[in-house]
Structure 1
Amino acid sequence: MSLAIRHLDSSAPDFSQQLHALLAFEAATDAAIEQAVAAILADVKARGDAAVLEYTNKFDRMQAASIGALEIGQAELEAALASLAPARRAALETAAARIRVFHARQKEELRGFSYTEADGTLLGQRVTPLDRVGIYVPGGKAAYPSSVLMNAVPAQVAGVQDIVMVVPTPDGVKNPMVLAAAAIAGVTRVIGIGGAQAVAALAYGTATIPAVDKIVGPGNAYVAAAKRRVFGTVGIDMIAGPSEILVLCDGTTDPDWVAMDLFSQAEHDELAQSILLCPDADYIARVHASIDKLLPTMPRAATIRTSLSERGALIKVRDMAEACAIANAIAAEHLEISAEDPLHWAEQIRHAGALFLGRFSSESLGDYCCGPNHVLPTSRTARFSSPLGVYDFQKRSSLLMVSEAGAQTLGKVAAELAYGEGLPAHARSAELRLKP
């Protein structure tokens, strides 16, 4: 039976409304989750380790006597790394090395600067790393060593000295690849806790868990709600929505490849979104045929089927130029340009989390080992947000060293503006430095 996936046409009079309905996604706030998270945060803030331990034992079915018993030491991380099959370890190390090289290039471009004006006034910007960051890593069935690499390596490259990783270990089960990735990525401390209580511990600090400056990493609805609530006490990376892929294809790529690329996001969960834009109606039909052919072979076929039928679409456009215009409106997390001249069309793209150019650049390569970060803005936030990077683990301070001569010129300007704002102390502060 053919998959019931939307077929849209950009020439239809109501296409804009259809596209809007397709993209609409309300990350509905569950009142029960918000209430539970608020209570957990308040409890951890008040009772510290005792509350974290209580929730961890309850939610992860543990019987730990202390937070110390939940800590995973460096020796255990190294042992997990040593336990991996050679090919698996080599893949993890290769991915980490490529991620490190890419983010080292970012750091080179994020150096501070200064300049001296004619009167001797020095102005500039200093870039310094955060002191301590917390990395949340999903545990249990959803174990993602790639997430460890993508979050920890940029922090290490940025110069963060203390990287604290929290990862739930339901029933005491620890994923060896996650621990191995922590060893490779330079994580300084790993604690086997998760959920809203872990976010609270990182944000507020406890007797044994240090407060961090920023929390990054994906999690479930409780983790997302907790991150949203502690923002302001600490920094956070983003509140990510369901994963997305948008493929722009001119009809020259093997349709099986495109179908599988659509699957690669659809298999994440039922809310993931996979969309194809193409000017060739016959090619769109071939992709649909490939979907029907390949879907039964997928272990996660049920999830893919639901995702594609409820949130996916195959869209006929007038030409590739229109496809680019629609892509800018969608501002997708992952954007593949599978065409003969991808660089040409990429010039027309303004909004996307990451661009995968050419038919050999499958999105899955970016997820794991190309080097650029796979933590990307979702739900159209690519219009104003960027991928996670070294810059997320640094902050900038302005430098001002005004010379005596500079104070004579700038002091008069500042005083005039300060009087205009009704702030005479500001004005007098500048005027006292003026020569009589």
Structure 2
Amino acid sequence: MLASWGLGNPELGVLMLGLFVVFIMFGFPIAFTLMALGFGFGYFAMGDIVFALVVQRAYSVMTNDTLVAIPLFVFMGYIIERANILDRLFHSIQIAVGGLPGSLAIATLMTCAMFATATGIVGAVVTLMGLLAFPAMLRAGYDVRLSAGVVCAGGCLGILIPPSVMLILYGATAGVSVPKLYAGALFPGLMLAGLYMLYVLIRCALNPSLAPKLPPEQRKASLVKIFWSLATSFFPLALLILSVLGAIFFGIATPTEAAAVGALGSLLLAAAYRSLSFGKLRESVILTARTSAMVCWLFVGSFIFSSIFAFLGGHQPIEAFVTHLNLSPFWFLILTQVIIFVLGWPLEWTEIVVIFVPIFLPLLDNFGIDPIFFGILIALNIQTSFLSPPVAMAPFYLKGVAPPHVNINDIFAGVMPFLLLVIVAMAMFYIFPGIGLWLPRYLYG
């Protein structure tokens, strides 16, 4: 047995973590790999008591009220997606910003930022904008790489901008208030979207050939037309989103209650646009159930895994190693963010948040780091996991719907400037933490 190899419990924990990474590389299902490793190592170390522990942990996950917000927010996003509201939103913003350099690209980023507040499903946003905005930019003569970078980077904003599903999972994992996380992530998310737009605006102004001006009839519109377009598409969705976020920020409703109101509001909005049908509703329910089941099984598996990992003392060698390095808070943050950046190549953000982030959480007190600050920094960092080659999901989502002449190398090249902008945003947030910490302190003290 393993004990005969001279391995103590902490070493078993590290071995357990290493085997998880190996099995994931071979393509095993993540949730069931977590549960299998938890059962196996738990039974070896604890005996039959592991079964009671597993039942207890699974039950605690399923009764976590905060997690109920996930299917509701996901349903809200799928309804908005299926009801063609995104199409209306894109065209209205396009009319409003038609006179700016790179107007279609800026309209794409604004639409992505807006839709990010309705759903944190990166694949859905990138795919939709790849079908809607990407062909429009190519038809207008926009540079392929710039267009691809805009769609991929904009589509990833939902991981950061509230109501982000990632922040709900982080809050449940770290024991941090989700409303405080939402308040903290709002301005950093808008800052990152603003950096993207500023980059496009400056680059297209300096090199107009990257984004030729639209025809006069598309570039110029009367104030009445602009107002009417925004009033029928932008403002209704904005009102719905602000109502949901406002209810959470000001303590009027819990995230779960606000998510329920948002889901109902999305149904009413789709019905008002006469875009709601039984078929679309059925698709949204099925997709929501599939996504929610994936997240819940992953969370159950991760809790089983992390409980056994903690029982074995797997954190001890890692904590001892980090302590031995005698790092300053700055270099600790650099180390953790580099690890998360690298983990983003083979793993989804869900696995990073529920498996590897808990390894770092006990160390935050040692370095005097606010868990809200740490969570927002991770949310910024995880943007890179969707953009950085070779395993960059956003470019592959776009490639799946792009015209045949657009190759994956062009898409990879297009996302690189935006990848650098994410790093700039992380640096700005580190230097000026008030960007994210001012609002939760103002609202909640």
Give the TM-score normalised by structure 1.
0.27
- Structure with greater helix share of residues: 2
- Report the structure number with the largest CA radius of gyration: 1
